[in-house]
Amino acid sequence: MPVSAPAILPEPTLYRFSVSDYHQMGETGVLGPDLNVELLNGHIYEMSPIGSRHAACVDRLNRIFMRAVDDHAIVRVQNPIVLPPDSEPEPDVALLKPRDDSYASRHPRPNEVLLVVEVADSSLPFDQEVKVPLYAQVGIPEVWVVALDEDRVHAYQMPKSGSYREQTIYERGDEMTFPLKAAPAVLAVDDVLGT
């Protein structure tokens, strides 16, 4: 009796979740409220716990930004921004265009984001290889990655065709400028990195 060839099965495909799918999973309890997850490029990532150095840096940035921006921007800390169709990151800090409702009716969209800041200790490669390109693809004008282990800040500007055309690395002793046309401000890198 002749032996038949094994059936050729199609290659498995990776399922990509939409922002709507992600919200439904949260509403139905599939994603528990205590999970620290983010939707990035259709994939759900469990994020690392936040360490004390990371938390202190976010607190410093929040304090600095709150003092500097006044009513020219909204400072949002570790809250979602929606990047349609399949991403909802929660950057450590975001500066948003002002809205009367402070985004109570919906999360901000890319055209409402002035600056995203990600604080990285163990997550630097992930932030630079996954998150920064994602922000460039949707046209967020500026991203800072505070690299705590390197003791420096990577700044990305001028998004075009899915990447940032300018990258500047700031060291201790350097100063950075806020991306606010209405209220330009200068920030010491030492103040971001702390002592």
CATH code of the domain in which 113 resides: 3.90.1570.10
**Is residue 13 assigned to a domain?**
no
**Is residue 169 assigned to a domain?**
yes
pLDDT score at 2: 66
Residue from 113, 110, 72 nearest 95 by CA? 113
Dist. CA 167–CA 17, nearest whole Å: 31
Tens digit of each residue's pLDDT (9 = 90 or more) over 119-152: 998 889 999 999 999 999 999 999 999 999 999 9
**Is residue 1 assigned to a domain?**
no
Domain carrying residue 177: 51-193
> How is residue 134 written in tokens?
């994602």
Q: How many domains does the chain contain in total? A: 1
pLDDT score at 110: 96
**Is residue 15 assigned to a domain?**
no
pLDDT score at 169: 97
Dist. CA 68–CA 63, nearest whole Å: 9
More confident residue, 29 or 105: 105
**Is residue 131 assigned to a domain?**
yes
Q: Cis bond leading into 89, ω under 30°?
A: no
Tens digit of each residue's pLDDT (9 = 90 or more) over 17-69: 999 999 899 888 888 878 889 999 999 989 888 899 999 999 999 999 998 88
Contact between 146 and 117 (Cβ < 8 Å): yes
Predicted confidence (pLDDT) at residue 3 exceeds the cutoff of 70: no
> How is residue 124 written in tokens?
């630097």
**Is residue 45 assigned to a domain?**
no
**Is residue 25 assigned to a domain?**
no
**Is residue 127 assigned to a domain?**
yes
Dist. CA 172–CA 3, nearest whole Å: 71
pLDDT score at 69: 86
